[in-house]
Amino acid sequence: MILHPSFYFNLHALAMLIVGLTIFFLGLFIFFKKKSSRINISFFTICLSITVWLIATAIGCSLENEQLATVWFKIDNFGVMFISVSILFFTKSVLKKKDYLSVYVGYILALLLGIIILSSDWLVTGVKRFSWGYFPQWGWFGIPALVFFFGYMLLSFYILFRYYIKEKLSPLKKNQLKYLILAYLIAYTGSIDFLPVHGFEVYPTGYISIFLFLIIIAYAIFKYNLVDIEIVITRGTIFGIVYSIVLGLPFLFGFLTKEYLIGYVGELWWLFPVVIAVIIASLGPTTYNKLKNKAEWTLFKEQKEYQEALVELGRQLTLTKNINELLVWITRTISINVGVSYTRIFLWDEEKKEYLYRKGYGKEMKKGINAKFTPDNPLIKLIRSSKKPLLRAQ
């Protein structure tokens, strides 16, 4: 019966469906980027629980049959039970916390609450018609459900905000956490969806809040170089195109041929798009990998070329004995192949106790830089204390 629901076109539901699918593909992409990363796993659990919530809600809003809509809204709330604990999992993963007992307990409780929601009418008692379609109505079990949901949401925010206030963080890390806190606050406004479940005529804008949440996270990734944004955009675009085809073609085939197939094979018409989906899905990973490798080679051709030049420089360094020739090779290769406007090398002078300019290359190498640095220079102190390359994000 659920295979043949009486759907009607619902623009509000379509928006929820698009956001839900976008979040799912984003989570899947991040997960497969590094499956062993706890941050990636926890981020995927957020995306998966939100996807269940939004897609089930979109289907429920698009149904004419109240009983079927009630079933889908139970599935919707099953996903909701996992959102807040997944956010706590992600928060602790980002902050590299070692205590995950509250997360394990949370998932057990979420599963128990979800099973009760699916198997009873304690939470979803029925549906009510609003301007945007059907929406679930809650019963008495909404009290423990809300306590659980908001309890874990507030715990996540408390841990994140306390870490931001009390820990000694670098300016870069503080800015990263600022964006994360802002994203969480906006995501929490999605709780407005709990108003219509109690009968209030308030449009459920939770999916918009989640969409804004993703935009802020994406901006933080771009601004603070948390990952290689070009790789993310390239792989994400290819992934979206390939799997839009994988998912879209069977639906399009079913939509265009449904009436003909029903007249030809009856109620088993849906087997044909399912078979097509299985066949196309089996080709999806291979097609994605081939397109990804081709695109990355084209996009990063220049970087690969100067990487090869640096390898050649390393070989040349082992053959050159004269220090001046060696410095010329280094500055020239870096400026030309890496693409910086100028390069200078400073070496430590033991007698003068200073870093003295020895060799440079580039059109602007005579502008704006001292010929020597003392050990108490702020730049030297920063380099010596960090023991890492310094990157300046624009």
Worst-scoring range by mean pLDDT, 39-48, 77-86, 274-283? Answer: 274-283
CB 133 within 8 A of CB 12: yes
- pLDDT tens-digit series, residues 74-126: 999 999 999 999 999 988 988 888 889 999 999 999 999 999 999 999 999 99
Question: Which residue stretches of the chain are H helix?
Answer: 11-33, 38-61, 66-80, 83-94, 101-119, 142-166, 171-188, 206-224, 229-265, 271-299, 301-319, 323-333, 378-386
pLDDT at 17: 86
Res 19 pLDDT > 70: yes
For residue 11, which amino acid is it?
L
- The secondary structure of 327-357, three-state, reads HHHHHHHHHHHHCCCEEEEEEEECCCCEEEE
d(CA 374, CA 376): 5
Q: How confident is the model at residue 259 (pLDDT cuts 50, 70, 90)?
A: confident
For residue 357, the cross-strand partners are 346
The average pLDDT across 275-291 equals 70
Q: Please tell me the total number of residues recorded for the chain in this structure.
A: 394
Vertex 49, ends 45 and 54: CA angle to 5°?
Answer: 145
Q: Set out the domains of the chain in order of their start, with CATH numbers.
A: 11-227 (1.20.1070), 303-386 (no CATH)
Q: What is the CA radius of gyration of the chain?
A: 28
**Its pTM surpasses 0.85:** no
Nearest to 150 by CA among 75, 83, 97, 217: 83
- Which two three-digit tokens encode residue 293? 């490798």
Residue-wise DSSP of 283-317:
HHHHHHHHHHHHHHHHHTHHHHHHHHHHHHHHHHH
